[in-house]
Structure 1
Amino acid sequence: MAMWIQAQQLQGDALHQMQALYGQHFPIEVRHYLAQWIESQPWDSVDLDNTGEEAKAKRLLDSLVAELQRKAQLQGGEDGFLLKIKLGHYADQFKSTYDRCPFELVRCIKHILQSEQRLVQEATNASCGGRAQAMDTLSQRHQQINQAFEELRLATQETENELRKLQHSQEYFIIQYQENLRIQAQLTSLPSVPLAERKQREAALQSKRATVEAWLAREASTLQKYRLDLAEQHQKTLGLLRKQQTLILDEELIQWKRRQQLAGNGGPHEGGLDVLQSWCEKLADMIWQNRQQIRRCEHLTQQLPLPGSMEDLLTKLNADITDIISALVTSTFIIEKQPPQVLKTQTKFAATVRLLVGGKLNVHMNPPQVKAVIVSELQAKALLKNESTHSESSGDILNNNCVMEYHQATGTLSANFRNMSLKRIKRSDRRGAESVTEEKFTILFESQFSIGGNELVFHVKTLSLPVVVIVHGSQDNNATATVLWDNAFAEPGRVPFLVPDKVLWTQLCETLDMKYKAEMHSGRGLTEDNLVFLAQKAFSSSSNNPEDYRNMTISWAQFNRENLPGRSFTFWQWFDGVVELMKKHLKPHWNDGAILGFVNKQQAQDMLLSKPNGTFLLRFSDSEIGGITIAWVAENPNKQGERLVWNLLPYTTKDFSIRSLADRISDLNHLLFLYPDRAKDEVFSKYYTPPLSKPVDGYVKPQIKQVVPEFTTPNPEPCPGVVFMDQTASSSASHSNNFGVYSSIGDPMLDPDGDFDLEDTMDVARHVEELLRRPMANQWGSQQS
């Protein structure tokens, strides 16, 4: 209800926009009397693209009808009688209108609530002057557009008034012209009149004819001047229309498309499409009114030709305004919901296209059909250069035809492709070192429709963002890199699908931070120290000064074509592995600030050696994709008085699917403080798995517990049925190192860079799994022996 209270306080244009949201499809009284109930319902939980959720939408409809009926029954007394009847009527109306299409009700209410929220937010930002410069700029731009619309409205109204005056003047001129013809006919018939009467009548008729002809001559000149003045006014209005259309289409709509593109990299979700539609509809309305006025001027000119023909001028005006409306219609055929940019063959995908001026131009009266085809980069270039008029396909898309639907509640005309699937793809010859995951395609959506009673016919096309087609999930990582680079660094109006081969490191940092924050679903992104760590990795550098990297450039090859020195993976593959690991298993710990992550071994050693024994930190593995390790400081068991930093074998997604990070940390009693000085239970206890439940049917569920033998404190009384690694491991296993240590003595289990060789060591969890697969009797037997 808080939203409705704020909405009622809107003023001016914002209040009019809010009121315009309501009508017969959803009366404003229903919003008022059911405000709290409406705002508490899970409208956003209904996926309008999933037909399987129609039952959920139906339940919401039934609940709304029931709530209206309940509210009606509560009305009593003389004052409540009319409201009781009205609410009951609305309940019946909703039932009959939406019972067969409950999705439309949900779509309507979602649109209303989102629009109200936007209007309230804009009003709040406008009233808090200096809170955010970006919002101030946005408000100023919107104000500029609204002022231009008011200027256009006044100009259009003025030309309409002048056109009516011209029409009335011309009609009177024709009447006087007919009068002149009648006088001329009377003069012609005078010879049949007696001579005495003829002279008297001839003199009077000649005088009248002279007066009328003089008036006609003056009025003809006046009419011609009216026509020229009106044409000049229309030229000025067309200039204003072009300027406003350029601002909306070439700036606002392009910015919306750019935000949509960045949303593919995790940027803020593109909003404001409803505002854009309202502007485009106003433009369409103004353009159409002026076009009709020009057509009426043409008709008046044809009806009464005058010296100094205006046909050429009016023809040019007509052609100019037709060009303007053509540009508006073709530019507002857009992709509201982009298809996935990494597109796997034989996999269902969806997309939505929308015509922003469809409702205003009544295109929905004869709903057009939209077709989707996949085209190559070369074909996309030809289409944009108008070198190709036919849509040659580079693959077969199933369910690629859809009829546009008009949603009266929201006033949108759109085609929702719900079940498309790419059956096959035809690839082109690749260039140089380019792989299949660097080849870009695009989905072309095209349609044809007419407006003004088939007066104007439009063939509209729009291209999706670049898509990379894969046939196996193993290609997803590299395909995502191609898409990420394209989304981040593509420039508006580029030739498809050119992107720079090199970009500033700072530009890439912004992209990586955007991606990381989006996957973590929090505001905690990459710090400057994190970015320095990544720069060191990308450029094989040891500098800790961020300024050293500020003006450096990184190429596509460095990003995801060439392997990192001494590794079998690229920079992006390593970074994406970290993102996937964090997203799937460690997101809460990152958002809690428990994971430093972007720290190398030497940094970890320097940080931990200054802290008490038992202090530990979590850092990402340098040698393994999607790995994280625990580093801690402790005494050297082989040399009294020496303190060393130890590193556990890196954990991966596979390990955390067996036992969580928090439980693994809980298992290790030698880990006491999370760097710098936080007690580990304070940080991780809320994520520990609860103790085992009581036995069921005489069985006790076994539990996996991680240990590091050299740092294990014996448990005097093990719990029955709980299997610990230190209880079951053989003597040979108990002395094998499952950790790394910084030491000057060479360790055959460490690779030259100080990381474990995964082929020569066994992960703790896998070891425990192996133990659990042994017969129970053998386990206890080996323990007793």
Structure 2
Amino acid sequence: MAMWIQAQQLQGEALHQMQALYGQHFPIEVRHYLAQWIESQLWDSVELDNPAEEAKAKRLLDNLVAELQRKAQLQGGEDGFLLKIKLGHYASQLKSTYDRCPLELVRCIKHILHSEQRLVQEATNVSTEGAMDSLSQRHQQINQAFEELRLATQETENELRKLQHSQEYFIIQYQENLRIQAQLSSLSSLPPAERTQRETTLQSKRATVEAWLTREATTLQKYRLDLSEQHQKTLGLLRKQQTLILDEELIQWKRRQQLAGNGGPHEGGLDVLQSWCEKLADLIWQNRQQIRRCEHLTQQLPLPGPMEELLSKLNSDITDVISALVTSTFIIEKQPPQVLKTQTKFAATVRLLVGGKLNVHMNPPQVKAVIVSEQQAKALLKNESTHSESSGEILNNNCVMEYHQATGTLSAHFRNMSLKRIKRSDRRGAESVTEEKFTVLFESQFSVGGNELVFHVKTLSLPVVVIVHGSQDNNATATVLWDNAFAEPGRVPFVVPDKVLWPQLCEALDMKYKAEMHSGRGLSEDNLVFLAQKAFTNSSNNPEDYRTMTISWAQFNRESLPGRNFTFWQWFDGVVELMKKHLKPHWNDGAILGFVNKQQAQDMLMSKPNGTFLLRFSDSEIGGITIAWVAENPNKSGERLVWNLLPYTTKDFSIRSLADRISDLNHLLFLYPDRPKDEVFAKYYTPPLCMYQQYCSHQHITVFFLYSMVNAVNTFLFLNVCLCSCSVRNDTMLDADGDFDLEDTMDVARHVEELLRRPMANQWSSQQS
């Protein structure tokens, strides 16, 4: 009773929601007068989906009715007379409504109690926790709508049973009237006196029956019209709920799935969507069956009026609703790769969200996959093409849908597909093969209700770009990223805007970068300003200016950056690949500034002590990172300069890690702004034993002290080069931008190492022999 006391304190919308829980299915007066008894019963102990629990539910119903009757008998006096009658009426009403389906009573009361508890908790927490999360609120609304639909469907079922019983009694009385008429016809053979007496009696009886039939026919017609109106209202609610789930929730899930291709959060919530779609399918099917039963009753006893047309329209409308549900819930759970290389195995999974509820698995359908072009996809969606033309050949492209009892899912897992060949269309203008989009079409056919309805379902994958060589992967990924980021729901395949606002692209790049780094450290505002300055020729110094600027697809990945032979995306993707393969821990540690140009690096380092260095991405090379550091100018006392090494690439880090290379360079002391380098990088240094193993080969073994000796030579030569190069700016050790090229120095070091290795290796060999 404590909960009911709190529920009565609700105000505003919460009070309205609480009152809406009650109605003819369960009067609020019953809740009020039996509050303590209701809250003391173990409603949650009844398993609603277990038919064996019906006996337990029946006992609860009987006890509820008995408690109501007892409460009614206790009412006395003039004031209690009306309440006594009302409670007695409610006892009879509940007994009549739920006697054949006691589990529905338990379901109803459980829903009421849980809803009250939620409303009370929300009202209690509103001052401390604020309003509920919008997602949670939306889910609550959907669940509440389902409960309303369930109750409406139960009500029409009860009304349909009453109509059936009334009609059956009407037919019995109609047969009685025919019998009376037959008796009247047979009176001619009787003597006049007896015939007159019996004729009078039979005619009186016939008049009474015909009068009743006339009244009952009108009543039956009204019942039928009322029932059709109720079905019309329920159909409207079903459409509204289906629109909410399919056109909002499912579309949002598909959008999240598409953004996951750019590194967005993994799409979740499919099981919740399936549960909603299954509830929809169940309710739609129940209402459709009720409408068909109404049609059968109308055919069984035709009466004047528009019923046949009304029911035919209802049947057609609700069939359209379930058709839309089935065709929309044939979805791709696991998308094929969006950059698809020929002659390479790939996988995909399709799922029918309502398959289990409609028992489709009783005759498992087969799913076929074909690859189609953008133009073919447009024709399919416009229904201009009735058969699936293909733009290529996919091996292992047929799969049977399987029902998984544990999860209740009906799906087809394509595990070993391979694109054998592709037929490309004529390209437009500057479009390259890596800008051409295809899609994988999955289609199937199945029937439900004993072949009562046959469905031909199709679904298209996200756009895929077909490549034949790994060198095309970079540009293909750009096409996919742009499409995933900027595609609009319900678009014509596969239209995307040619220009987008710069902040929109920033969001896509940040999502991609975070995903590849597997961390929350994405691109900062300064990083994005750096990228904007790289993307736009006329760079601005005011970050606010970029917020209103637009960037085109051509600027993104068709036109080369000024003075370079690569595009903006190619440069950015090179950075991502380098970081992902070799430098991810250092980025996540905050050791790499990365998005800093040469002038910015100089300004930052000149205010720091000698030996301070930073790591920035190369402007001139794809997938390169360089070290900039500040040191004294040996040719001019008191002058300091910022030096830049030629960039390291994936090839360099495949030989020796960044941390070890920084460890080798003894003149590097502090990572910008002031962190000792060993504090940052020591945990990534290669242990001595591993260094020894790194210099082992099949024929020669280099011991650790030899490595140390060579390393000392490297450092010595490097420092000499630094000192010498200060006086000659066009020294061969400098690149075109004044960067050091250590290759010549390192060649000398390697030559020394090789000279030292041979006798040591020979001596080792002779000792062994």
Shorter-chain-normalised TM-score: which range?
Answer: 0.7 to 0.9
From the superposition, tell whether residues 251 and 287 of structure 1 become closer, same or farther in structure 2 (CA, over 3 Å): same
SS at match of 2:494: coil
Query: Once structures 1 and 2 are overlaid, which stretch shifts more, 89-98 or 605-614?
Result: 89-98
How many Å separate the matches in 2 of 1:222 and 1:95?
25
Deviations 1:113-171 (A, max 9, x none): 999999999999999834xxx97010111011111111111111111111111111100
The structural deviation recorded for 1:57 is 40
The structural deviation recorded for 1:540 is 2.7
SS at match of 2:688: coil
Is the CA contact 1:655–1:765 (under 8 Å) kept in the aligned structure 2?
A: no
How many Å separate the matches in 2 of 1:289 and 1:148?
16
**Percent identity of equivalent pairs:** 92
From the superposition, tell whether residues 204 and 755 of structure 1 become closer, same or farther in structure 2 (CA, over 3 Å): farther
From the superposition, tell whether residues 57 and 216 of structure 1 become closer, same or farther in structure 2 (CA, over 3 Å): closer
From the superposition, tell whether residues 752 and 15 of structure 1 become closer, same or farther in structure 2 (CA, over 3 Å): farther
Report the count of equivalent residues.
739
Is the CA contact 2:611–2:629 (under 8 Å) kept in the aligned structure 1?
A: yes
SS at match of 2:133: helix
The structural deviation recorded for 1:310 is 1.4
From the superposition, tell whether residues 313 and 47 of structure 1 become closer, same or farther in structure 2 (CA, over 3 Å): closer
Query: Once structures 1 and 2 are overlaid, which stretch shifts more, 370-379 or 89-98?
Result: 89-98
From the superposition, tell whether residues 452 and 784 of structure 1 become closer, same or farther in structure 2 (CA, over 3 Å): closer
Match of 1:382 among 379, 382, 385: 379
Is the CA contact 1:129–1:136 (under 8 Å) kept in the aligned structure 2?
A: no
How many Å separate the matches in 2 of 1:428 and 1:453?
43
The structural deviation recorded for 1:545 is 2.1
The structural deviation recorded for 1:311 is 1.1
**Going by fraction, where is helix more abundant, 1 or 2?**
2
From the superposition, tell whether residues 37 and 458 of structure 1 become closer, same or farther in structure 2 (CA, over 3 Å): farther
Is the CA contact 1:740–1:750 (under 8 Å) kept in the aligned structure 2?
A: no
From the superposition, tell whether residues 439 and 69 of structure 1 become closer, same or farther in structure 2 (CA, over 3 Å): farther
From the superposition, tell whether residues 770 and 552 of structure 1 become closer, same or farther in structure 2 (CA, over 3 Å): farther
Is the CA contact 1:371–1:447 (under 8 Å) kept in the aligned structure 2?
A: yes
How many Å separate the matches in 2 of 1:426 and 1:171?
66
SS at match of 1:375: strand
From the superposition, tell whether residues 225 and 31 of structure 1 become closer, same or farther in structure 2 (CA, over 3 Å): closer
Query: Once structures 1 and 2 are overlaid, which stretch shifts more, 339-348 or 68-77?
Result: 68-77
Find the counterpart in structure 2 of residue 93 from structure 1.
Answer: 93
How many Å separate the matches in 2 of 1:424 and 1:42?
64
SS at match of 1:669: coil
Is the CA contact 1:648–1:738 (under 8 Å) kept in the aligned structure 2?
A: no
Query: Once structures 1 and 2 are overlaid, which stretch shifts more, 82-91 or 505-514?
Result: 82-91
The structural deviation recorded for 1:9 is 25
Is the CA contact 2:644–2:740 (under 8 Å) kept in the aligned structure 1?
A: no
The structural deviation recorded for 1:638 is 2.5
Is the CA contact 1:443–1:464 (under 8 Å) kept in the aligned structure 2?
A: yes
Structure 1 segments, 4+ long, off by >4 Å, are 1-128, 734-743, 746-785
Is the CA contact 1:122–1:139 (under 8 Å) kept in the aligned structure 2?
A: no
From the superposition, tell whether residues 455 and 69 of structure 1 become closer, same or farther in structure 2 (CA, over 3 Å): same
Query: TM-score, normalising length from structure 1?
Result: 0.75
The structural deviation recorded for 1:366 is 0.5
From the superposition, tell whether residues 76 and 289 of structure 1 become closer, same or farther in structure 2 (CA, over 3 Å): closer
The structural deviation recorded for 1:691 is 1.8
How many Å separate the matches in 2 of 1:767 and 1:38?
92
Find the counterpart in structure 1 of residue 713 from structure 2.
Answer: none
Deviations 1:441-471 (A, max 9, x none): 0000000000000000000000000000000
How many Å separate the matches in 1 of 2:607 and 2:123?
53
Query: Once structures 1 and 2 are overlaid, which stretch shifts more, 327-336 or 10-19?
Result: 10-19
Is the CA contact 2:298–2:307 (under 8 Å) kept in the aligned structure 1?
A: yes
From the superposition, tell whether residues 33 and 201 of structure 1 become closer, same or farther in structure 2 (CA, over 3 Å): closer
How many Å separate the matches in 2 of 1:482 and 1:82?
75
Is the CA contact 1:535–1:541 (under 8 Å) kept in the aligned structure 2?
A: no
How many Å separate the matches in 2 of 1:554 and 1:679?
41
From the superposition, tell whether residues 322 and 98 of structure 1 become closer, same or farther in structure 2 (CA, over 3 Å): closer
Deviations 1:288-322 (A, max 9, x none): 00000000000000000011141111110000000
How many Å separate the matches in 1 of 2:59 and 2:158?
53
How many Å separate the matches in 1 of 2:292 and 2:336?
42
Deviations 1:47-93 (A, max 9, x none): 99999999999999999999999999999999999999999999999
Is the CA contact 1:375–1:442 (under 8 Å) kept in the aligned structure 2?
A: yes
Correspondence 1:151 to 2:148: yes
Deviations 1:173-198 (A, max 9, x none): 00000000000000000011122211
How many Å separate the matches in 2 of 1:427 and 1:41?
69
Match of 2:514 among 502, 513, 517: 517
From the superposition, tell whether residues 664 and 624 of structure 1 become closer, same or farther in structure 2 (CA, over 3 Å): same
Is the CA contact 2:626–2:644 (under 8 Å) kept in the aligned structure 1?
A: yes
Deviations 1:419-462 (A, max 9, x none): 00000000000000000000000000000000000000000000
From the superposition, tell whether residues 412 and 528 of structure 1 become closer, same or farther in structure 2 (CA, over 3 Å): same
From the superposition, tell whether residues 253 and 526 of structure 1 become closer, same or farther in structure 2 (CA, over 3 Å): same
From the superposition, tell whether residues 51 and 285 of structure 1 become closer, same or farther in structure 2 (CA, over 3 Å): closer
From the superposition, tell whether residues 108 and 148 of structure 1 become closer, same or farther in structure 2 (CA, over 3 Å): closer
Is the CA contact 1:647–1:741 (under 8 Å) kept in the aligned structure 2?
A: no
Query: Once structures 1 and 2 are overlaid, which stretch shifts more, 39-48 or 593-602?
Result: 39-48
SS at match of 1:135: coil
Is the CA contact 1:738–1:761 (under 8 Å) kept in the aligned structure 2?
A: no
Is the CA contact 1:634–1:644 (under 8 Å) kept in the aligned structure 2?
A: yes
Is the CA contact 1:562–1:570 (under 8 Å) kept in the aligned structure 2?
A: yes
From the superposition, tell whether residues 390 and 596 of structure 1 become closer, same or farther in structure 2 (CA, over 3 Å): same
How many Å separate the matches in 2 of 1:15 and 1:308?
43
Find the counterpart in structure 2 of residue 283 from structure 1.
Answer: 280
Q: Larger C-alpha radius of gyration, 1 or 2? A: 2
From the superposition, tell whether residues 452 and 259 of structure 1 become closer, same or farther in structure 2 (CA, over 3 Å): same
Is the CA contact 2:733–2:742 (under 8 Å) kept in the aligned structure 1?
A: no
Deviations 1:744-781 (A, max 9, x none): xx556555544578999978998899879977679999
Query: Once structures 1 and 2 are overlaid, which stretch shifts more, 473-482 or 5-14?
Result: 5-14
Deviations 1:189-208 (A, max 9, x none): 00111222111111000100
SS at match of 2:132: helix
How many Å separate the matches in 2 of 1:775 and 1:77?
121
Is the CA contact 1:738–1:764 (under 8 Å) kept in the aligned structure 2?
A: no
From the superposition, tell whether residues 10 and 104 of structure 1 become closer, same or farther in structure 2 (CA, over 3 Å): same
Find the counterpart in structure 1 of residue 235 from structure 2.
Answer: 238
Find the counterpart in structure 2 of residue 227 from structure 1.
Answer: 224
- Gaps of at least 5 residues in structure 2 are 690-698, 709-729
Is the CA contact 1:540–1:565 (under 8 Å) kept in the aligned structure 2?
A: yes
Match of 1:646 among 643, 647, 659: 643
The structural deviation recorded for 1:649 is 1.4
From the superposition, tell whether residues 567 and 71 of structure 1 become closer, same or farther in structure 2 (CA, over 3 Å): farther
How many Å separate the matches in 2 of 1:783 and 1:121?
84
The structural deviation recorded for 1:544 is 3.1
How many Å separate the matches in 2 of 1:53 and 1:754?
84
How many Å separate the matches in 2 of 1:59 and 1:763?
93
From the superposition, tell whether residues 88 and 150 of structure 1 become closer, same or farther in structure 2 (CA, over 3 Å): closer
Query: Once structures 1 and 2 are overlaid, which stretch shifts more, 51-60 or 315-324?
Result: 51-60
The structural deviation recorded for 1:32 is 37
Query: Once structures 1 and 2 are overlaid, which stretch shifts more, 472-481 or 25-34?
Result: 25-34
From the superposition, tell whether residues 445 and 764 of structure 1 become closer, same or farther in structure 2 (CA, over 3 Å): farther
Correspondence 1:118 to 2:83: no
- Gaps of at least 5 residues in structure 1 are 693-733
From the superposition, tell whether residues 305 and 71 of structure 1 become closer, same or farther in structure 2 (CA, over 3 Å): closer
Is the CA contact 1:613–1:633 (under 8 Å) kept in the aligned structure 2?
A: yes
From the superposition, tell whether residues 527 and 668 of structure 1 become closer, same or farther in structure 2 (CA, over 3 Å): same
CA RMSD of aligned residues (A): 13.1
The structural deviation recorded for 1:639 is 2.4
Deviations 1:484-516 (A, max 9, x none): 000000000000000000000000000000000
The structural deviation recorded for 1:543 is 2.8
Query: Once structures 1 and 2 are overlaid, which stretch shifts more, 206-215 or 15-24?
Result: 15-24
